[in-house]
């Protein structure tokens, strides 16, 4: 019997879960792995599909309860971000963002924290001009409350009822645009929404996040850090006293209260009683703490599990406090969702259908709003009564009806890797209820390297992965050393080892599968985006494990990355490899795949956006030309108007179809999808 054929056999029953129908298969066709016809098309992966970005409630004390606001990325609208709302007494949500607006900020380039709600009005950053606007109803025209053409970007804001000021991050690009500064300046500012006056409250550090005012309007807490640190390295939590007008920090009152060298603190939140909570990894795991003036901050739930994740973007809280009494907090513990009593320190598990819980937001009516996902459920916007346990699905990111016989459920997979270490991942078996492979054959394996590289691959269902598994591929989603979610020590293992450990882990994972006879050793391939694209290119250039690879906006020249990339990540590579000095240039050259095309002996595909500011398109072009000159099968697809990560449905579809078609031609199997065409150079039939 071919391996993986009955990966979902025990799950196939006559029931419906998250719009996926469980149904008994009656007939099976025998066909080679990779040639199976699947209803999971690239169009299905993006059609009527959204990605939730943020969840918010009205911040005004005493505001109406029961209305939740969220923003969603809509692939079929060119990747536009739209703010929506839903009232508990209504069945249909309302769109707030007009068609000619896009509620997306470019602070740190990755954005997040693009909108908030106060007194029934939505305040948001608009993508095209990066001005902040206020919109008082879904059908009203947004009005700008920040100056035009100032070169300022805004994120992570909120409005204080006591001071009537907005507190947010401002990223000033004006001097960069005039070529009189190399980097934008980041500060914390207050904005008077009536007069539009802006005042700088904190400056001098390279980065700031999470400006949070106390409920009495007397204090402001925030996070700050400097190059070469990232938010998950060394950060500091500060508290300062606000002036009576709320537009300055009283001189001499700003002080560091937590964090420091080697400690990552994040997400400060005030309780209604003016107590301060925050997340810190001082024990080696991101746990939740309560601030104490004597510096002996209390770990509220000591455990070897992460209560938070890497802060790549603003506006995605990992815990939330009861906004009325402040006596409880909802937080994450691995795949669990917990309600913790702040007085007794006792907690209970909140039962959900999900293994991931994100953007936790606590309402004044005891209702929790969050995004939930699992291996069998697409990400959903949920509401959960934390007292009764009753939950309700408000919106699903993807609605479709498909037999689960087409879906592969992942298994946890751990393997030995270099330096007598271990690596973690999720293994997906080939799965298609209509097909089985010929006796004695093994499937091709696609290894996926996540971005970051300080990132994480979850087990939440992904139609991109299911696209491959339903056509007869096995997929190994790798959380290589350096990934978050496994504690600080594991996250720090990639320091100085980028291009080494991530490469070792992807290669050893594929090799372990081949050695065990679970996959075809001659049909091993790898893909990745951004930093995962670099890992892909490095695996192909420095190792002889994979036969083909696909890089999506990946990095080929590390030196060029340092010279060309944006501020947020401009010194990230100092810790991942070494500071970029003349003395260390040799290390960069040695780990840059572009310098080792002479070692390449496999096929490579490149997919790139022409407006990418994080990984400039010239990197893909250089690698493509090098592979082309080597005479190896290759293709380069440049998408017009795309930045770092594709947001337009048609481009996501072309990249997904193109990658699969490329692998099919390299491995010599005939895909069932006849519509896919790609001009592959140097392909020898």
Hey, is 587 helix, strand or coil? helix
Q: How does pLDDT run across 16-55, given as a tens digit for each residue?
A: 334 444 444 558 999 999 999 999 999 987 776 899 999 9
Q: What is the mean pLDDT of each run of 10 residues along the chain (685 residues)?
A: 30 36 65 96 84 95 89 92 96 96 97 97 98 98 97 98 97 93 97 98 98 97 98 98 97 98 98 97 98 94 97 98 95 96 96 97 95 95 96 90 92 98 98 97 98 96 96 98 98 98 98 97 96 96 97 91 89 96 96 89 94 84 90 96 88 95 95 86 87
Hey, is 675 helix, strand or coil? coil
231 alpha-carbon distance from chain centroid = 14
Pair 465, 471: CB distance under 8 Å: no
Hey, is 232 helix, strand or coil? coil
Pair 281, 488: CB distance under 8 Å: yes
3-state percent breakdown (helix, strand, coil) of the chain, nearest 5: 15, 35, 50
What is the largest distance, in Å, between two alpha-carbon atoms of the chain?
Answer: 78
Q: 545 is written with which tokens? A: 């494990």
Q: 90 is written with which tokens? A: 């209504």
- Residues forming a β-bridge with 533: none
| Contacts of residue 560, Cβ cutoff 8 Å, sequence gap at least 6 | 616, 618, 619
274 alpha-carbon distance from chain centroid = 31
| Contacts of residue 62, Cβ cutoff 8 Å, sequence gap at least 6 | none
Cα separation, 462 vs 8, in Å, equals 16
Preceding peptide of 595 cis, ω within 30°: no
Hey, is 560 helix, strand or coil? helix
Predicted pLDDT of residue 1: 29
Torsion, Cα 430 373 55 104, to 10 degrees, reads -10
Preceding peptide of 228 cis, ω within 30°: yes
Q: How does pLDDT run across 379-394, given as a tens digit for each residue?
A: 999 999 999 999 999 9
Name the pairing type of β-strands 548-552 and 603-609: parallel
Q: What integer best gives the mean pLDDT of the chain?
A: 93
User: Which strand (E) or helix (H) includes residue 360?
Assistant: strand 356-362
Predicted pLDDT of residue 560: 86
Cα separation, 121 vs 123, in Å, equals 7
> Which residue, among 341, 335, 375, has the nearest Cα to 358 in the 3D structure?
335
Name the pairing type of β-strands 165-172 and 198-202: unpaired
Pair 352, 382: CB distance under 8 Å: yes
> Which residue, among 626, 658, 625, 623, has the nearest Cα to 639 in the 3D structure?
658
State percent of the chain over pLDDT 90: 84
> Which residue, among 489, 412, 399, 512, has the nearest Cα to 458 in the 3D structure?
412
**Angstrom distances, CA of residue 348 to CA of 278, 290, 358:** 20, 19, 18
Predicted pLDDT of residue 26: 58
Q: What per-residue string of b and e applies to 542-581 under the rule 16 or more CB within 10 Å gives b?
A: bbebbbbbbbbbbbbbbbbbbeebebbbbbbbbbbbbebe
Quote the DSSP letter at residue 8. T
Q: 668 is written with which tokens? A: 């010599």
Cα 422–Cα 426–Cα 431 angle in degrees, nearest 5: 145
Predicted pLDDT of residue 234: 98
Cα separation, 464 vs 75, in Å, equals 14
- Residues forming a β-bridge with 527: 448, 550
> Which residue, among 579, 606, 584, 576, has the nearest Cα to 594 in the 3D structure?
606
Q: At what angle do helices 531-542 and 501-515 cross, to 10 degrees?
A: 60
Three-class secondary structure assignment of 12-55:
CCCEEECCEEECCCCCCEECCCCCCCCCCCHHHHHCCEEEEEEE
| Contacts of residue 674, Cβ cutoff 8 Å, sequence gap at least 6 | none
| Contacts of residue 397, Cβ cutoff 8 Å, sequence gap at least 6 | 49, 50, 51, 52, 72, 378, 379, 380
Cα separation, 496 vs 507, in Å, equals 19
Hey, is 165 helix, strand or coil? strand
**How many helices and strands (H and E) does the chain possess?**
11, 41
Cα separation, 188 vs 171, in Å, equals 9
């Amino acid at each position: 019997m071919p391996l993986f054929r009955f990966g979902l056999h025990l799950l196939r029953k006559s029931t419906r879960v998250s719009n996926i129908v469980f149904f008994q298969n009656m007939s099976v066709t025998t066909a080679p792995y990779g040639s199976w016809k699947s209803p999971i098309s690239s169009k299905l992966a993006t059609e009527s599909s959204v990605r939730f970005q943020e969840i918010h409630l009205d911040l005004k004390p005493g505001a109406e309860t029961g209305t939740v606001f969220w923003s969603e990325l809509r692939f079929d609208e060119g990747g536009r971000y739209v703010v929506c709302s839903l009232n508990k007494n209504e069945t249909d949500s309302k769109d707030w963002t007009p068609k000619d607006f896009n509620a997306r900020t470019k602070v740190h380039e990755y954005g997040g924290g693009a909108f908030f709600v106060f007194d029934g009005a939505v305040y948001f950053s608009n993508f095209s001009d990066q001005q902040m606007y206020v919109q008082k109803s879904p059908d009203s025209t947004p009005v700008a409350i920040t100056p035009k053409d100032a070169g300022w970007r805004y994120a992570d804001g909120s409005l204080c009822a006591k001071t009537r000021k907005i507190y947010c991050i401002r990223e000033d690009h004006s001097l960069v645009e005039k070529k009189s500064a190399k980097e934008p300046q980041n500060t914390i500012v207050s904005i008077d929404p009536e007069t539009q006056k802006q005042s700088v409250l904190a400056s001098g550090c390279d980065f700031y996040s999470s400006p949070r005012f106390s409920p009495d309007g007397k204090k402001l807490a925030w996070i700050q850090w400097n190059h070469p640190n990232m938010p998950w390295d060394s950060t500091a939590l500060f508290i300062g006293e606000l002036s009576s007008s709320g537009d300055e920090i009283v001189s001499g009152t700003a002080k560091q209260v937590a964090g420091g060298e080697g400690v990552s603190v994040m997400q400060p939140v005030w309780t209604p009683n003016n107590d301060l909570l925050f997340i810190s990894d001082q024990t080696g795991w991101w746990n939740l703490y309560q601030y104490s003036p004597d510096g002996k901050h209390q770990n509220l739930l000591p455990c070897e599990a992460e209560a938070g994740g890497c802060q790549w973007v603003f506006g995605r809280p990992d815990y939330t406090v009861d906004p009325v009494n402040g006596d409880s907090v909802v937080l994450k513990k691995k795949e669990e969702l917990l309600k913790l009593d702040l007085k007794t320190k006792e907690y209970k598990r909140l039962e959900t259908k999900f293994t991931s819980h994100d953007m936790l937001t606590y309402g004044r009516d005891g209702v929790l709003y969050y995004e939930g996902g699992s291996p069998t459920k697409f990400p959903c916007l949920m509401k959960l009564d934390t007292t009764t346990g009753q939950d309700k699905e408000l919106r699903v990111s993807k609605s479709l009806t498909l037999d689960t016989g087409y879906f592969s459920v992942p298994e946890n997979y751990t393997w030995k890797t270099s330096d007598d270490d271990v690596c973690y991942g999720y293994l997906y078996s080939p799965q298609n209820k209509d097909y089985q492979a010929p006796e004695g054959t093994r499937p091709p394996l696609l290894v996926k390297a996540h971005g970051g590289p300080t990132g994480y691959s979850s087990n939440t269902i992904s139609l991109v992965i299911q696209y491959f598994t339903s056509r007869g591929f096995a997929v190994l989603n790798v959380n290589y050393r350096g990934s978050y979610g496994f504690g600080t020590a594991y996250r720090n293992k990639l320091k100085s080892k980028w291009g080494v450990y991530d490469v070792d882990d992807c290669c050893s994972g594929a090799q372990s599968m081949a050695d065990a006879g679970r996959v075809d050793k001659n049909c091993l391939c790898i893909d990745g985006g951004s930093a995962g694209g670099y890992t892909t290119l490095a695996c192909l250039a420095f190792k002889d494990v994979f036969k083909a690879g696909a890089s999506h906006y990946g990095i080929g020249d590390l030196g060029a990355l340092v010279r060309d990339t944006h501020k947020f990540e401009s010194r990230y590579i100092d810790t991942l490899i070494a500071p970029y000095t003349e003395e260390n240039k040799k290390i960069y050259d040695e780990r840059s795949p572009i310098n080792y095309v002479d070692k390449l002996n496999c096929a490579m595909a490149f997919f790139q956006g022409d407006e990418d500011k994080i990984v400039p398109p010239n990197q893909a072009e250089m690698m493509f030309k090098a592979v082309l000159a080597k005479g190896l099968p290759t293709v380069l697809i440049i998408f017009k108007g795309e930045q770092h990560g594709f947001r337009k449905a048609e481009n996501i579809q072309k990249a997904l179809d193109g990658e699969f078609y490329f692998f099919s031609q390299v491995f010599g199997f005939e895909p069932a999808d006849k519509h896919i065409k790609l001009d592959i150079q140097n392909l020898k039939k």
